[in-house]
Amino acid sequence: MRVLLVLGTSAGGVGRHVDGLAHGLAVRGHEVVVAGPAASLPTEIPGVRTLSVAISDRPHPLADARSVQALRRALRPADVVHAHGLRAAALACLAATRSGVPVVVTLHNAAPTTRATKAVYAVLERLVARRARVVLGVSRDLVERAAGLGARRTGVAVVPAPLPRTPARPVGEIRSELGVAESTALVVCVARLAPQKGLGTLLGAAALLRDLPVLVVVAGDGPLEQALRERVARDALPVRLLGRRDDVPDLLAAADVVVSSSRWEGQPIGLQEALQAGAAIVATDAGGTRDTLHGAGRLVPVGDVRALAAGIRAVVTDPAARAALEARSRDAAADLPSGEDAVDAALSVYRDARRH
């Protein structure tokens, strides 16, 4: 099968997912071309060709017209086009008009919240829903939204979990480095310091836990770092912002509880790693979090400070509850999808799209 994979600007999970698909498809003997901005294209994947196509985050009429023409030429020999992200999907759908080549789309992110961006996003969503042969989403809410906009065939995308990583240092060394006493519960959150991660909710929960020997540490950087540091200092919260860390497996292994306070998630890598670490998890029921956890973890409503604090409290004060959550995480980790699962799922969708 000849597959054209299309993506826009990507520095994170989308790019890794496309790279993995390209590699897996090529290994199975399929002809693969990956098209997108030069900075997003994979390097040196055997059997995979690349095509630089300017696909920016925002609409640019002249540049977009040139991109559509480039994609139109690229898809002529293709049996199927698989576009990742809404902007790339919209351009791919326009390029495929009247070509007969089916377009499969995977949506990786929730709709923006700012008024102007939201309006543009809504137009692109409708275009993609009506023109793509199949629309997949990394969470059920994205799938339901696409179906509501008229998508003919929809489904939840299979995105592989990261490969398990073994901690490099003993738990005692990590806790000592962080200054965590034996009697103190270590609460770990791995998150970019950005609005989507709901860290204001986590800081509010930390304020309600000051009667307990608890330390909350957040591993990650981002645009909200200064504002969060100021709030931690002002309210004297039991919270430390660690910045970007390369020892996430060590932190997860040392945690008494791993927390996610996100407002929305697709299939969060941080929680998949927490499952692989056998950690007790408390998380907001955001986007694809519930499906990612496969029945593990304790879920609380998004944005509910008191519920998040209560969930953390229940785990750190009850060793039996913590042990039960850890066991559920280990069980759920065994069900996480692999790279082979993702390729199998993609090929099944491609064959279905070509038949219909």
Report how far residue 200's alpha carbon sits from residue 237's, in angstroms, rounded to the nearest whole number.
12
pLDDT for residue 11: 54
CATH architecture, range 2-160+338-355: 3-Layer(aba) Sandwich (3.40)
Cβ proximity of 295 and 329 under 8 Å: no
Strand pairing report for 48-52 and 80-84: unpaired
Report how far residue 259's alpha carbon sits from residue 298's, in angstroms, rounded to the nearest whole number.
10
- The residue extents of the domains of the chain are 2-160+338-355, 171-333
pTM over 0.75: yes
pLDDT for residue 230: 98
How far does Cα 112 stand from its chain's mean position?
Answer: 15
* Nearest alpha-carbon partner for 215 in 156, 171, 256: 256
What tens digit of pLDDT does each residue of 175-225 get? Answer: 999 999 999 999 999 999 999 999 999 999 999 999 999 999 999 999 999
Strand order in the sheet with 48-52: 48-52, 31-36, 2-7, 80-84, 103-107, 134-137, 154-156
Give the max Cα distance, the chain. Answer: 67
Please give the chain's pLDDT, 356 residues, in tens. Answer: 999 999 998 656 899 999 999 999 999 999 999 999 999 999 889 999 999 999 988 888 899 999 999 999 999 999 999 999 999 999 999 999 999 999 999 999 887 777 767 788 899 999 999 999 999 999 999 999 999 999 999 999 999 999 999 999 999 999 999 999 999 999 999 999 999 999 999 999 999 999 999 999 999 999 999 999 999 999 999 999 999 999 999 999 999 999 999 999 999 999 999 999 999 999 999 999 999 999 999 999 999 999 999 999 999 999 999 999 999 999 999 999 999 999 999 999 999 999 98
pLDDT for residue 187: 98
Q: Which CATH class is domain 171-333?
A: alpha beta
- Rounded to 5 degrees, what are φ and ψ at 323? -60, -40
Question: DSSP character for 2?
Answer: E
Is the fold of 2-160+338-355 the same as that of 171-333? yes
Mean pLDDT for the chain overall: 95
Name the burial class of residue 352, with classes exposed (0-12), middle (13-18) and buried (19+) by CB atoms within 10 angstroms of its CB.
middle
